[in-house]
């Protein structure tokens, strides 16, 4: 478990530092397309890595069907609506519904 928190901390620091560099040092300067691409995609890549880890390597060692369903529903919702927060809420409700209605004794 400490490895996970160390990983999250390092990702947070690297994201924060990349934003500081982008905002403070490069403000008003022209950036190369490769550097612009880096600044646009690093935060998305970090979030994707954290989400994928949560989906496919849960704490109990088994794939969580409610988490998987919630993430898939949220992904479809964000692709169709193009709105982040409502899509996350829809995914949360879908995951909760699967857990509540299909996995309760």
Q: Judge whether residue 98 has pLDDT over 90.
A: yes
pTM: 0.55
Question: What pLDDT, on the 0 to 100 scale, is given for residue 28?
Answer: 75
**What is the tens place of the pLDDT at every residue in 20-66?**
876 777 677 787 888 888 878 887 888 788 778 777 776 677 778 88
Q: Judge whether residue 81 has pLDDT over 90.
A: yes
**What is the DSSP secondary-structure string of 22-61?**
IIIISTTS---HHHHHHHHHHHHHHHHHHHHHHHHS-TTS
For residue 100, the SS3 value is helix
For residue 1, the SS3 value is coil
Residue predicted with more confidence, 105 or 75: 75
Q: How is the chain split into domains, by residue range?
A: 1-57, 59-105
Structure tokens at 27: 């403000």
Distance separating alpha carbons of residues 66 and 91, to the nearest angstrom: 10
Cβ atoms of 69 and 91 within 8 Å: the answer is no
């Amino acid at each position: 478990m400490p490895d996970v928190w160390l990983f999250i901390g390092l990702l947070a620091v690297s994201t924060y530092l990349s934003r500081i560099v982008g905002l403070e040092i490069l403000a008003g300067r022209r950036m190369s397309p490769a550097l612009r691409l880096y600044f646009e995609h690093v935060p998305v890549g970090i979030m994707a890595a954290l989400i994928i880890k949560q989906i496919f390597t849960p704490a109990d060692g088994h794939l969580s069907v409610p988490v998987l369903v919630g993430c898939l529903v949220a992904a479809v919702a964000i692709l169709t609506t193009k709105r982040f927060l409502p899509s996350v809420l829809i995914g949360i409700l879908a995951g909760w519904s699967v857990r509540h209605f299909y996995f309760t004794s």
